[in-house]
Amino acid sequence: MSSRDGGMTFLSRGFVGRRDARRDAGRLPPGQYDVGDGFPVLSAGPTPRTAPEDWDFTVTGEVDGPVRLTWQEFQELPREDVTVDIHCVTKWSKFGTTWSGVALDTLLGLVDTSAEHLLAYCDGGYTTNLALEDVADGRAWVVDRFDGRPLEPEHGGPARLLVPELYFWKSAKWVRGLYLSGTEEPGFWETLGYHLRGDPWLEQRYAGD
Ligand SMILES: Nc1nc2c(c(=O)[nH]1)N[C@H]1C(S)=C(S)[C@@H](COP(=O)(O)O)O[C@H]1N2
Ligand SMILES: [Mo]
């Protein structure tokens, strides 16, 4: 562990493995707090439970050749491990969460489209809108593993979106597909007054922020 203040080094040594508050301060977007080891569950309804044999993932809408993947086909796609900080609009942030899944670049690469927006849809009816430029180039994934284990149903298993650069409501749980469109169609929370984009660093919590 290094220290900008040489005089603090002997103190830091005793705290190896604990959080360095000074380092983490720069990781917290405005108005957020560090929830630590906790992982709150925030669901607008009951937890759906879809068996892998009943699960599929579709990429539809304004595309040439819509795609439907079975669970098995999804498992065979190239996979990535990611470690990211997540930020909920209710103000908790969680540092260094580890996930495994398929990049949205890979899934969107399966179709031909000139659409600029998508609506993610889920078991249970939840939706959220995203601009394609906010999920391109390694900024979003469909993940099915958290912390080295299959994703718990409460946290969106069998699979959820992970869009860590935006507020966590954009990381749709129980995701089943992406609907691509030339126009921006607000999703569940966005229709109820939350920001269409939701960048935590710009504190885009509500419409008009
Ligand atoms: N399908 C679905 N996805 C959802 C939600 C939901 O209610 N339904 N809640 C969102 C909100 S507001 C947040 S903060 C995160 C919470 O994820 P977690 O329960 O794993 O912490 O999921 C997001 N994705
Ligand atoms: Mo949230």
- The H or E element that residue 10 is part of is helix 9-13
Q: Average pLDDT in the 59-69 region?
A: 97
**Atom 18, ligand 1: which residue's CA is nearest?**
41
Whole-number pLDDT of residue 22: 56
Atom of ligand 1 nearest to the CA of 39: 21
**Cα dihedral 136→142→147→148 (10° resolution):** -110
Residue 3 lies in a domain: no
**Atom 10, ligand 1: which residue's CA is nearest?**
169
Tabulate helix, strand, coil % of the chain (nearest 5): 20, 30, 50
Residue 12 lies in a domain: no
**Atom 1, ligand 1: which residue's CA is nearest?**
173
Task: Give yes or no for residue 1 having a pLDDT over 50.
Answer: no
Atom of ligand 1 nearest to the CA of 126: 1
Residue 54 lies in a domain: yes
Q: Average pLDDT in the 14-29 region?
A: 65
Whole-number pLDDT of residue 5: 39
> Which residue range is the domain that position 52 belongs to?
21-202
Q: Average pLDDT in the 26-37 region?
A: 96
Q: Mean pLDDT in the chain?
A: 92
Residue 144 lies in a domain: yes
Nearest to 187 by CA among 116, 136, 130, 131: 130
Angstrom distance (rounded) from CA 94 to CA 9: 26
Whole-number pLDDT of residue 12: 41
Q: Average pLDDT in the 33-44 region?
A: 96
Q: How far is the CA of 205 from the centre of ligand 1 (A)?
A: 15
Residue 64 lies in a domain: yes
**Atom 11, ligand 1: which residue's CA is nearest?**
169
Looking up residue 76, the CATH number of its domain turns out to be 3.90.420.10
Residue 116 lies in a domain: yes
Quick one: what percent of the chain has pLDDT higher than 90?
Answer: 87
Residues in Cβ contact with 154 at an 8 Å cutoff, skipping those fewer than 6 apart: 41, 43, 47
What are the phi and psi torsion angles at 163 (to 5°)? -130, 75
Count how many domains the chain has: 1
Residue 45 lies in a domain: yes
* Tens of pLDDT, residues 143-182: 999 999 999 999 999 999 999 999 999 999 999 999 999 9
Instruction: Ligand 1 pocket test: pick from 168, 178, 189, 206 the residue with the most ligand atoms within 8 Å of its Cβ.
Output: 168
Whole-number pLDDT of residue 19: 57
Considering the entire predicted model, what is its pTM? Answer: 0.91
Whole-number pLDDT of residue 21: 65
Task: Give yes or no for residue 206 having a pLDDT over 90.
Answer: yes
Task: Give yes or no for residue 18 having a pLDDT over 60.
Answer: no
Angstrom distance (rounded) from CA 67 to CA 140: 19
Q: How far is the CA of 40 from the centre of ligand 1 (A)?
A: 10
Angstrom distance (rounded) from CA 58 to CA 66: 7
Q: Which residue has the higher pLDDT, 150 or 19?
A: 150
Atom of ligand 1 nearest to the CA of 43: 7
Angstrom distance (rounded) from CA 94 to CA 184: 29
Q: How far is the CA of 11 from the centre of ligand 2 (A)?
A: 36
